[in-house]
Amino acid sequence: MAEVPETDMLCNASASGRLDEVVVLLETGADVNGRNIFNRTPLQVAKLGNTALVETLLEAGADPNVRDPVLNLTVTHDAARDGFRDTVRVLLDHDADPDLTDERGNLPLHLAAREGHLQVVQLLIQHTTDPRAVNGQGYSAGELALHHGKIDIFNFIQEYLSSH
């Protein structure tokens, strides 16, 4: 039976949220930015709701701005889309760039607004250089929220923009 590469072991532990195993692998020299057989880093496959795990990877030097090879998403896009506010905060604290766009021109702010994650929108809007920016389809975050029936988010964004 073939031995599992160390990077794959780290990615598997990260994806499963096994923080203790991640720590041991990092301490024994596993490459925090290495790629698994699917061309993903441990941070890209991390269980995003496990903020301590994400923070451990970032503190070990994981690149928060690495892009998915398929959709050009960053981990911040994934966490914002899925509503993981604490994970987004940790990513921002470790130099994640909230102004990077995916292949469709979406900022993390666009995805959080579209999916209805008010707390994530409230966090990201303060860190996004241009919260009025439009995506590749010509929609701002507020317009996406409105289009998807997220009226509370649309109202919050409008209020924020009118006061800044």
Q: Is 76 helix (H, G, I), strand (E, B) or coil?
A: helix
Confidence of residue 1 (pLDDT cuts 50, 70, 90): very low
Asked if 125 and 108 touch (Cβ cutoff 8 Å), the reply is: no
**Mean pLDDT, rounded, for 130-135:** 98
Dist. CA 43–CA 87, nearest whole Å: 11
**CATH architecture label of 66-164:** Alpha Horseshoe (1.25)
Q: Determine how many CB atoms are found less than 10 A away from the CB of residue 147.
A: 13
Domains 1-63 and 66-164 share a fold: yes
41-89 pLDDT, tens per residue?
999 999 999 999 999 999 999 999 999 988 899 999 999 999 999 999 9
Q: What is the dihedral of CA 66, 69, 75, 79, to 10 degrees?
A: 170
Helix pair 151-163, 118-127: axis angle to 10 deg:
20
Q: What count of Cα atoms within 13 Å lies in the side-chain half-sphere of residue 48?
A: 19
| pLDDT exceeds 60 at position 96 | yes
Dist. CA 164–CA 150, nearest whole Å: 21
**CATH architecture label of 1-63:** Alpha Horseshoe (1.25)
pTM more than 0.75: yes
Percentage of the chain lying above the pLDDT 70 cut:
98
**Max intra-chain CA distance, the chain:** 62
Confidence of residue 2 (pLDDT cuts 50, 70, 90): low
**Mean pLDDT, rounded, for 22-39:** 95
Q: Where are the domains of the chain?
A: 1-63, 66-164
